[in-house]
Amino acid sequence: MRLITHLRHVDLAVPDFARQRDFYSGVWGLTEVASDTGISFLAAEGSPEQYIVRLRRDTGKRLDLIAFGAATPQDVDALAARLRDASVQLITEPGGLGTPGGGYGFRFFDLDGRTVEVSADVAVRRHRKLEPKEAVPVRLSHVVLNAPDIAATRSWYETHLDFALSDTLASPHMGEIMHFMRCNPQHHSLAIARGPHTSLHHVSFEMRGLDEYMYGTGRLLRSGARMIWGPGRHLAGDNTFSYFLDPHGNTVEYTTELELLDEDAWHPSVHDLTQPDVADQWGTANPMNELIAKESFNDPDRGVFVAPPV
């Protein structure tokens, strides 16, 4: 039984907190909804989630945690019991959350040592429908994680959190490169990429539509932010992409039109990444190469099996 419903937020820690905060609350288009010394909670105008990105000041750069939603506190308790019985290391027991919107949840380490949070009963944020040409994120779309053994990490998320495989990217020379995983009809809320170390590959933000996606891409280009790949349209998921680097070298993406699946009828495919249409159906993006891949390997995550302080 699938107990996770959706992706809530991605939390990052960085040394230059002010610069990172200015980027996400400025040119990237998120809205700061709460803050304290060295911590900032950022929402998307079109999303009912209290926040979709949390930034925290730290001496080093790390992924603090990834947060998913559950339907009820009973589902949170059921998942915690399931993980405990499977000898998954819990960081906290289920209980009340002190973050904006409250709620009931707990934290645990995944196979690679990332902190994961699952919560229910978080208050819905008052949000709104974005206007035409309003080029700010509607919501958090998905997160992609680098893992040295993508088959093992994929299996862990399937076994313990009931994620399902949607599609795989592979090449004749390198084998499997990326697994797209879903927890609802959206083609992927999570993907596992093959990398040399455990790290964040990228965080993706959904835009209102194609026009808004292009306006946003243009705004980032004019700001001087470095775009490493795009604009284009992937085959797996059929979504658009423009990938940029944030001030600390994390890859962030503007996307739109991510495919919604009929889960009962869907059968995963293996797409050959050496075929140009797989990476970019439009043919408008710069070709995928080793330099682009290396940027998204990111720095080794300093937070592996180290729970964030808040």
Residue pLDDT, tens place only, 86-116: 999 999 999 999 999 999 999 999 999 999 9
And the tokens for 226? Answer: 């470095």
CA-based nearest residue to 234, from 257, 206, 209: 257
Domain identity same for 185 and 113? no
Domain identity same for 292 and 171? yes
Domain identity same for 160 and 210? yes
CATH of the domain at 82: 3.10.180.10
Question: What single-letter DSSP state applies at residue 158?
Answer: H
Domain identity same for 25 and 169? no
Q: Regarding predicted confidence, which is higher, 286 or 191?
A: 191
Helices 73-85, 150-161: inter-axial angle, 10-degree rounding: 130
Domain hosting 291: range is 139-297
How many structural domains compose the chain? 2
Strand 53-57 vs strand 62-70: parallel, antiparallel, or unpaired?
unpaired
Residue 288 has pLDDT above 90, yes or no: no
Residue pLDDT, tens place only, 120-171: 999 999 999 999 999 999 999 999 999 999 999 999 999 999 999 999 999 9
Domain identity same for 163 and 222? yes
Domain identity same for 282 and 189? yes
Residue pLDDT, tens place only, 25-49: 999 999 999 999 999 999 999 999 9
Distance of alpha carbon 304 from alpha carbon 189, whole angstroms: 21
Does any domain span residue 104?
A: yes
Q: For 63-72, 110-119, 281-290, which range has the lowest pLDDT when averaged over its residues?
A: 281-290
Question: Taking the model in full, what pTM does it have?
Answer: 0.97
Residue 287 has pLDDT above 90, yes or no: no
